[in-house]
């Protein structure tokens, strides 16, 4: 990415890039080469943490219960 930054204006927009790199991504997947694939993580990736799935589900359930309790208290 750093090497391409000076050429950002020359690069085609997303839909075109996706079409141009389709064969590369498909072959990378076939060879199990994630470094050559488009692996989308989003802007919030640095906020992520490594946790077991059970812990994440427990947190989501607790947050949902807190929201529901708050909504019930408002009534």
**Contact yes or no for 16/24 (Cβ under 8 A):** no
DSSP 8-state assignment for residue 3? T
Whole-model pTM: value is: 0.45
- Could you tell me the residue ranges of all domains in the chain? 5-74
Does residue 51 register a pLDDT over 90?
A: yes
- pLDDT band, very low/low/confident/very high, at 68 (cuts 50, 70, 90): very high
Which string of DSSP letters, residue by residue, matches 30-61? HTT-GGGS-----TTGGG-----HHHHHHHHH
Q: pLDDT by residue (tens digit) across 13-35?
A: 888 988 999 999 999 999 999 98
């Amino acid at each position: 990415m750093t090497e391409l930054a000076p050429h950002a204006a020359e690069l085609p927009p997303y839909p075109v890039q996706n079409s141009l790199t389709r064969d590369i991504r498909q072959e990378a997947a076939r060879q199990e080469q994630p470094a050559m694939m488009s692996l989308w993580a989003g802007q919030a990736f640095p906020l992520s943490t490594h946790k077991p799935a059970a812990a994440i589900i427990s947190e989501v359930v607790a947050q949902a219960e807190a929201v529901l309790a708050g909504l019930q208290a408002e009534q």
